[in-house]
Structure 1
Amino acid sequence: MLIINGLQTKDVCIDDTKRYLAPTITLQPKPARGYDIFIMDKRVPIRLSCDATGTPPPRFKWVKYDRNGENPVDLDPNDDRVTMDGGNLEVGDPEDPGMKAETAQERVEESDEGLYQCIAENTFGSALSKKVNASIAFLDAFSWVERKIDSYQIGEKVVLNCDPPNGVPSPYPAIYWTFGMPGDPKGPRNPVVYSDRVLQDVQGNLVFANIQEQDSRDYVCNVPNAYIGEVKTSPIFEVTVNTNRPAPTRGPSWVYKPPQSKEVLRTKILQLKCIAEGL
């Protein structure tokens, strides 16, 4: 038995007419685009693809681990909820032909969450794919429900904390803020326009570097989840700016600055953000 770059292989035999090769993974199962996990919509089966080369051609099987990457179980192709076609895998309840079109059938369940790995095997060895973490998309509600009423002095630094609910995928990249005038029956529906003075930090909080009279409005933090088609909205932040005395001047200071070092994969986009306040 030889082990080369993590590949388990038996002795390779060569005759005058054919070369025998242990499998090599050529197509890795991939998570959702832009995420490090495979995000499951309950209405859609899990679909993962894997491919490998080898001589003779390899056979494929899939192993599922629990959420902690433990307790591996070979998936059974004879299971009604499992379909395997070469290295392609589909997991989920069979489609119910009697289900009404306007009713969304849930085809995956919490027990389907975990890590999935493809294994290609032939007589001369085996190759293991990377593990893919599959999690069901969800978005909780905001944990606080009371309207927040706050008064600030003109020129102050103000941070409205979103405190978004838990969700998969992570809600932070998608958070956005809207505003409205107090008493508007339609509520805060206008997108906040960001500037050097009004910004959103990496935690989704709304930052006023120095708040002004025109910022006296109602604000809400919006957290969308495109996978389940929902948007959760925070209770209203009712902001009042007092102008009874002039704003004191002050030098600039950091509200948020990027880390001193950050790792990024080659060919990927690197984004850095800094926020300062002062008057």
Structure 2
Amino acid sequence: MQVSAWLLWVAWLCTWTEAARQCQCQCACPPEEQVEQRSERSERRGHLHHRLAHQRATHRDRAHRRKGSRPVPDIGLPRIVHHPSDVVVRVGSPATLSCRAEGNPEPTIQWLRNGQPLDTDKMDAQSQPIVLPEGSLFFFSVSLGRKSQSHEAVYACVARNSAGVATSRNASLHIAALREEFRVQPSDVEVAVGEVAVMNCSPPVGHPEPNVTWRKDGILINSSNEHYTELNGKLIIAPAQKNDSGVYSCIASNIVTVRESRAARLSVLAKPVLLRKPEDVSVQLGASAQFFCEADGDPMPSVEWSREKGPLPNGRYLINPDHSLQIHYVTAQDMGRYTCTAENKLGVSVASAQLLVEDVGSTRLRDLHKELSALRVSLENVTVMSTASNMSQVMWRLQSSAVSQPHYLEGFEVLYRSLLPASSDWTAQRVPQPGLHTHVGPLKRGYKYEFKVRPYGSSLYGRESNTRHLRVPEIVPSAPPQDVSITMPTDRNDTVHLSWEPPPHDAHNGIIQGYQVQYY
């Protein structure tokens, strides 16, 4: 009987231990009563009393837990409560990757670099990161070296205790950088007034992604101005105006440095506009008529004259540098509509005017008109009088015509102008009858000139002659350079600085190409 009681006691103890392990709770059981020698019935009653007491304690514990009380576990799985985040850091600056974990027992923190345990022993002593007490990874000075030495990588922290392991999210440590090469450089752009201008730019690759701003003629553009829109690096100007023309550059910047693109020119062009339009003109037979036409645009438009019916009067018209049209010695056949056309690559602008010819009531004027229209002048020769002279000799002759002996011819007018290096207006020099030659000058040495001759009588002119060109030979300047100055730098005694002004303009005797400095 005593052996049976002991066996029942051992069985009850094992059952209680298993129940306590499954409940994972602390159970304060009532102390054991002293075991006395009793009957088997008394022992079973005592064992049942103990089981009921244990179940009541477990029930009280569960009820207590439902009311919000949190028991302190013996063992708790680790849990990451603060995950590391991506960071971008300049070379040489400190950086911290945060990590914090909870668990029971307190977990230890280790770090992974690119999926492998971080081995600081392979790094230089100065570049070794350290794990702070709360688990964060601290870099005293971020470096970018060989692959194994570079701090730029993907990191994760691992919390570990006897209950298990927890791993954080990945976090990248990028070393701030900004390359030199722009992915897209701005290029020159041409638009018309009122259109949308787009200046392209794609900044260099960098971490962090660089900010993009723009400069016009070296001045930062105000991005809050509604006239400008910055979109994905591009600068959009709408609508483009003439004052938007200029030199633009794209500026890329981040925490590392600032990069500036090459400059690009924006040209806001304008269609031709006629500032002054031709007006109807009425002149007497044999007189001169003039039509005016002034145009503007960007680029500056070319201006041409045309006649509604047929070509312009051969040999009797002149288009001046101001684009006005002159018609000399007007005939009845010259009547009609004349058109001024201004054109550039953006468009065309046109205006017309009428030429009316009044009948001449005077018999003398009619005869003069008839005589001058029949005369033909041939420009024979244009030469420089001598090498040392800047005067030219012009010779012409009157061709045989229906007029054997002119009665109303008063003389001839020699017209000349410079062509190179710069053109000029026509200059007139009259030669009275019966002269057929004259001296013209002084002319500028090194310049190229154009000559022609026409007959005149009263205020009327006949047909113009053929043209001839003359280049005036050059000789050495007749005066030395002016304001010659010699200075010596204070920091060098083996160098001098020499400066001067050109000779007086009248002493150039040609186009000065350069200077020769001689020293002894």
Specify if TM > 0.5: yes
Q: Which amino acid aligns with 1:76?
A: D
Q: Is residue 241 of structure 1 aligned with residue 268 of structure 2?
A: yes
Relative to 1, partners in 2 of residues 1:54 and 1:225: Cα closer, same or farther, differing over 3 Å?
Answer: same
Structure 1 SS opposite 2:119: coil
Aligned to 1:225: 254
Q: Partners of 2:234 and 2:165 in 1: how far apart? A: 49
Aligned to 2:131: 84
- Judge conservation of contact 1:44–1:108 (CA < 8 Å) in 2: no
- Judge conservation of contact 2:95–2:139 (CA < 8 Å) in 1: yes
Aligned residues: 201
Q: Which amino acid aligns with 2:214?
A: W
Percent identity reads 27
Q: Partners of 1:164 and 1:141 in 2: how far apart? A: 9
Q: Which amino acid aligns with 1:168?
A: H
- Judge conservation of contact 1:46–1:91 (CA < 8 Å) in 2: yes
Q: Partners of 1:121 and 1:146 in 2: how far apart? A: 52
Q: Partners of 2:25 and 2:144 in 1: how far apart? A: 48
> Shift of residue 92 of structure 1?
5.7
Query: Considering only aligned residues, what root-mean-square deviation do their CA atoms show, in Å?
Result: 2.9
Q: Is residue 177 of structure 1 aligned with residue 209 of structure 2?
A: no
Aligned to 2:158: 119
Q: Partners of 1:126 and 1:170 in 2: how far apart? A: 36
- Judge conservation of contact 1:153–1:243 (CA < 8 Å) in 2: yes
Structure 2 SS opposite 1:135: strand
Q: Partners of 1:169 and 1:147 in 2: how far apart? A: 22
Q: Which amino acid aligns with 2:138?
A: E
Query: Which of 86, 89, 93 is the aligned partner of 1:40?
Result: 89
Relative to 1, partners in 2 of residues 1:237 and 1:192: Cα closer, same or farther, differing over 3 Å?
Answer: farther
- Judge conservation of contact 1:179–1:192 (CA < 8 Å) in 2: no
Q: Is residue 21 of structure 1 aligned with residue 82 of structure 2?
A: no
Structure 1 SS opposite 2:240: coil
Aligned to 1:273: none
Query: Which of 172, 175, 194 is the aligned partner of 1:136?
Result: 175
Structure 2 SS opposite 1:170: coil
TM-score in terms of structure 2 length: 0.36
Aligned to 2:235: 206
Q: Partners of 1:115 and 1:13 in 2: how far apart? A: 42
> Shift of residue 242 of structure 1?
1.1
Q: Partners of 1:144 and 1:29 in 2: how far apart? A: 32
Q: Partners of 2:272 and 2:168 in 1: how far apart? A: 66
Name structure 2 gaps, 5 residues minimum.
1-21, 27-70, 274-520
Q: Which is richer in helix? A: 2
- Judge conservation of contact 1:161–1:205 (CA < 8 Å) in 2: yes
- Judge conservation of contact 1:179–1:189 (CA < 8 Å) in 2: yes
Aligned to 1:216: 245
- Judge conservation of contact 1:91–1:108 (CA < 8 Å) in 2: no
Q: Which amino acid aligns with 2:229?
A: L
Q: Partners of 2:199 and 2:185 in 1: how far apart? A: 14
RCO higher in 1 or 2 (8 Å CA, sep ≥ 6)? Answer: 1
> Shift of residue 244 of structure 1?
2.7
Relative to 1, partners in 2 of residues 1:204 and 1:144: Cα closer, same or farther, differing over 3 Å?
Answer: closer
Structure of greater Rg:
2
Aligned to 2:194: 155
Q: Which amino acid aligns with 2:192?
A: Q
Q: Partners of 1:29 and 1:193 in 2: how far apart? A: 36
Q: Which amino acid aligns with 1:167?
A: G
> Shift of residue 127 of structure 1?
1.2
> Shift of residue 77 of structure 1?
5.5
> Shift of residue 108 of structure 1?
4.3
- Judge conservation of contact 1:59–1:121 (CA < 8 Å) in 2: yes
Note the alpha carbon deviations across 1:143-202, whole angstroms, 9 max, x for none.
Answer: 48988433321122211011211111112xx2111212xxxxxxx13324444432111x
Relative to 1, partners in 2 of residues 1:145 and 1:54: Cα closer, same or farther, differing over 3 Å?
Answer: closer
Note the alpha carbon deviations across 1:193-214, whole angstroms, 9 max, x for none.
Answer: 444432111x110002221111
Structure 2 SS opposite 1:214: helix
- Judge conservation of contact 2:143–2:151 (CA < 8 Å) in 1: no
Q: Which amino acid aligns with 2:105?
A: P
Query: Which of 190, 199, 209 is the aligned partner of 2:220?
Result: 190
Note the alpha carbon deviations across 1:116-155, whole angstroms, 9 max, x for none.
Answer: 0011111101111110011111111134898843332112
Q: Partners of 2:223 and 2:72 in 1: how far apart? A: 67
Q: Partners of 2:229 and 2:113 in 1: how far apart? A: 43
Q: Which amino acid aligns with 1:73?
A: Q
Aligned to 1:253: none
> Shift of residue 40 of structure 1?
2.4
Relative to 1, partners in 2 of residues 1:119 and 1:234: Cα closer, same or farther, differing over 3 Å?
Answer: same
Q: Partners of 2:157 and 2:185 in 1: how far apart? A: 48
- Judge conservation of contact 1:194–1:200 (CA < 8 Å) in 2: no
Relative to 1, partners in 2 of residues 1:21 and 1:193: Cα closer, same or farther, differing over 3 Å?
Answer: closer
Note the alpha carbon deviations across 1:238-273, whole angstroms, 9 max, x for none.
Answer: 112112348xxxxxxxxxxxxxxxxxxxxxxxxxxx
Structure 2 SS opposite 1:112: coil
- Judge conservation of contact 1:151–1:240 (CA < 8 Å) in 2: yes
Name structure 1 gaps, 5 residues minimum.
1-11, 32-37, 66-71, 94-105, 181-187, 247-279
Aligned to 1:52: 101
TM-score in terms of structure 1 length: 0.64
